[in-house]
């Protein structure tokens, strides 16, 4: 029987590691020399299979959930702080990549600001730093709803709160909420990946449209409302920056244009720019759909600290 935690998290970490060596490279550069497998060195001069802050923060969240048994915002911030300050949850005991908004939020927390008040709330605080790590929370809430009769409002409140630890603007929170609905649809529905993703988007729109205050922010995601139409966008119409809307669009576009895990993440990282995060965001969803056996084993085998990752995943 499939283990959704291993499917999703390995999908995320492998996608992240594929993108690390080419982060910040342009699409034009990668068209000339596309990524076809795990590379070494490159942008951050790291060995093959090295993962970045995307995986570190997701693993910190996962470890918090498995240790505490629930969503504990303070515990998560403590683990994020230990990652940032002491290199915990990293491949080699040091942080080589951290987003500006995340760094600022952790500094706020270190000054004594409450966890849910630490993240930036302005329109300029809409990088992809909470979307990249939200998968473990989505999986926890998916399983929790099966065991305990909880409302969607309660789940979305927690999704938004975990985003707010570093990214508290509603646009980033909605991106994480949409991702949650996509995760649920992949796991619950039958049929093609495109069909499942569309059902997830429909439910996300249905949920957020209930509150009139969300309507303006939902406009930022209007291209994703109809995925058959969105799919027709050429690659030139897909941005791969660190802006949260661009990242979610790029990840979904790659999923719609691929027929395997491998094809999805290679397409994602070859878009260029924020390659590790787009690889991680697309890879998490692709892992859930194609499952662990769909991820190239040679890529999993070269992940740094692979045994430790698998130990953490077995404990959830």
CB atoms within 10 A of CB 110: 13
Q: What is the mean pLDDT of the chain?
A: 96
Tens of pLDDT, residue by residue over 169-198, are 999 999 999 999 999 999 999 999 999 999
Tens of pLDDT, residue by residue over 113-135, are 999 999 999 999 999 999 999 99
Residue 2 is predicted with a pLDDT of 62
Domain assignments of the chain as residue spans, ordered by start: 4-213+220-314
Tens of pLDDT, residue by residue over 194-217, are 999 999 999 999 999 999 999 999
* Domain boundaries 4-213+220-314, corresponding CATH code: 1.10.4080.10
Look at the pTM and tell me if it is higher than 0.85: yes
Q: How far lies 273's CA from each of 82, 95, 279, in Å?
A: 28, 19, 11
Task: Give Dmax over CA atoms of the chain in angstroms.
Answer: 52
Residue 314 is predicted with a pLDDT of 87
Q: Which two tokens stand for residue 135?
A: 């998968």
Residues 165, 269, 220, 223, CA torsion sign: negative
Instruction: Work out the percent of the chain whose per-residue pLDDT is above 90.
Output: 96
Residue 86 is predicted with a pLDDT of 97
pLDDT for 5 beyond 70: yes
Binned at pLDDT 50, 70 and 90, residue 149 comes out as: confident
Binned at pLDDT 50, 70 and 90, residue 232 comes out as: very high
Q: How far apart are CA 204 and CA 199, in angstroms?
A: 9
Tens of pLDDT, residue by residue over 66-107, are 999 999 999 999 999 999 999 999 999 999 989 999 999 999
Kindly state the DSSP code that residue 148 receives in the 8-state scheme: S
Residue 225 is predicted with a pLDDT of 98
Mean pLDDT of 273-285: 98
CB atoms within 10 A of CB 232: 10
Binned at pLDDT 50, 70 and 90, residue 1 comes out as: very low
Q: Which two tokens stand for residue 58?
A: 């997701």
Residues annotated within a binding site for Mg(2+): 52-54, 274, 276-277
Instruction: Work out the percent of the chain whose per-residue pLDDT is above 70.
Output: 99
Residues annotated within a binding site: 52-54, 274, 276-277
Name the least confident of 143-147, 158-162, 285-289, 296-300: 143-147
Residue 315 is predicted with a pLDDT of 75
Q: How far apart are CA 131 and CA 179, in angstroms?
A: 8
């Amino acid at each position: 029987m499939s283990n959704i935690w291993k499917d999703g998290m390995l999908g995320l970490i492998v996608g992240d590691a594929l993108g690390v060596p080419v982060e910040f490279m342009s699409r034009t550069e990668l068209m000339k020399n596309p990524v076809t497998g795990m590379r070494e060195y490159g942008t951050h001069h790291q060995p093959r299979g090295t993962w970045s802050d995307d995986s570190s923060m997701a693993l910190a969240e996962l470890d918090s959930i498995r240790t505490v048994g629930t969503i504990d915002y303070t515990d998560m911030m403590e683990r994020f702080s230990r990652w940032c300050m002491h290199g915990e949850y990293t491949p080699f005991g040091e942080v080589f990549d951290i987003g500006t908004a995340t760094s600022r939020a952790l500094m706020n927390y270190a000054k004594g600001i409450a966890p849910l008040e630490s993240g930036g709330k302005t329109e300029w605080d809409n990088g992809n730093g909470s979307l990249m790590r939200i998968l473990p929370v989505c999986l926890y809430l998916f399983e929790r709803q099966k065991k305990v009769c909880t409302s969607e409002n309660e789940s979305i409140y927690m999704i938004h709160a975990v985003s707010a630890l570093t990214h508290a603007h509603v646009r980033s929170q909605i991106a994480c909420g949409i991702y949650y609905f996509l995760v649920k649809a992949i796991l619950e529905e039958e049929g093609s990946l495109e069909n499942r993703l569309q059902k997830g988007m429909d439910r996300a729109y249905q949920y957020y449209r209930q509150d009139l205050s969300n309507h303006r922010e939902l406009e930022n995601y209007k291209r994703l409302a109809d995925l058959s139409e969105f799919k027709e966008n050429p690659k030139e119409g897909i941005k791969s920056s660190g802006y949260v809307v661009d990242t979610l669009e790029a990840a979904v576009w790659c999923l719609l244009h691929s027929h395997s895990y491998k094809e999805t993440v290679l397409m994602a990282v070859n878009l260029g720019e924020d390659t590790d995060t787009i690889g991680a965001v697309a890879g998490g969803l692709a892992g859930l759909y194609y499952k662990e056996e769909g991820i190239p084993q040679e890529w999993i085998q070269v992940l740094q600290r692979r045994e430790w990752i698998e130990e953490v995943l077995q404990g959830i």
